[in-house]
Amino acid sequence: MTPTLRELFSEEYQRLDNGESLLISLVGAGGKTSTLLWLSQAFYQQGKRVLFTTTTQTYRPAPTHYHHLQLGAPPIARNTPAITAWFSHEYPGSNKLTGPSTEQLDQIKQQGKFDVILVEADGARGLALKAPARHEPCIPSSSDCVIALTGGQMIDRPADPQQIHRWAEFSALTGVRAGEKLDHSVFRTLIAHPQGMFKGAPPQARRIWLINQFSHCDNPPDPAWQALLQQTPALSAIWLGAVQQSPPIHQGLRRVTP
């Protein structure tokens, strides 16, 4: 059965139901912006006051993706459900925006004026897989959940340096050479390594691996995914899906407690 938003975010909804603000950071590659826009609409449809932004750079979102756009000054929260987009600066003529600092976002969360804050905290230059560089990602320390994305088209495929952002870092972290298969063991290493997929994730944050644009979602999940989840303590859940389709998440795997 396709998981609902509340089922996917069961732990986070406990905080929301208690009146707490929720901050979700998105890192990795293969659909962060699409995931942010999906989640903003999904939480808004659940009656939440949603704020979305970035700690790096992004293109100006289309007006259909928000109700209010704030540039510069801190965002104003409404008393009714709405989606607010907040950015600190716009580059004239480029259609590009920069976002606030991680410290500003921690402060906004502490104020509790928004129910859900969604942050695109990483860049990948449009590629479907990456390893972080020294200066990235930029994750707010108060994040309750960090979702790391990978494009599903990279799973079990030969490693192509032209298709992997920060190839030198990726190869050094995983030990993979060009042309070798990107199998479960490669991703287990990338997830578990402190400089890997969840680099900079705060200790309290739940860690979710979202395999986006995954073409095998109509089939039962490969047992290897559940085995990887059980063998990787740093990982809380694996989601398989395509966030621009309906339903966006086809399968959600959770750690099984013995």
Per domain, the residue ranges of the chain are 5-254
Distance CA 206, CA 104 (A): 21
- 231-258 confidence digits (pLDDT tens): 888 899 999 999 999 999 988 988 776 6
Render 52-89 in DSSP notation, one character per residue.
EEESSEEEPPPGGG-SEEEESSPPPPPSS-EEEEEESE
Kindly state the percentage of the chain with pLDDT values over 90: 76
Amino acid present at 173: L
Beta strands in the chain (DSSP E): 22-28, 49-54, 57-59, 68-71, 82-87, 89-91, 96-98, 116-120, 145-151, 206-212, 237-241, 249-254
- Residue 38's pLDDT band (boundaries 50, 70, 90)? very high
pLDDT band (50, 70, 90) for residue 147:
very high
Average pLDDT estimate for 186-191: 94
Calculate mean pLDDT across residues 20-41.
Answer: 96
The overall average pLDDT reported for the chain is: 92
* Residue range 190-229, pLDDT digits in tens: 999 999 999 999 999 999 999 998 865 555 567 888 888 9
Topology at the third CATH level for domain 5-254: Rossmann fold (3.40.50)
Global pTM reads 0.95
pLDDT band at 95 (very low <50, low <70, confident <90, very high): confident
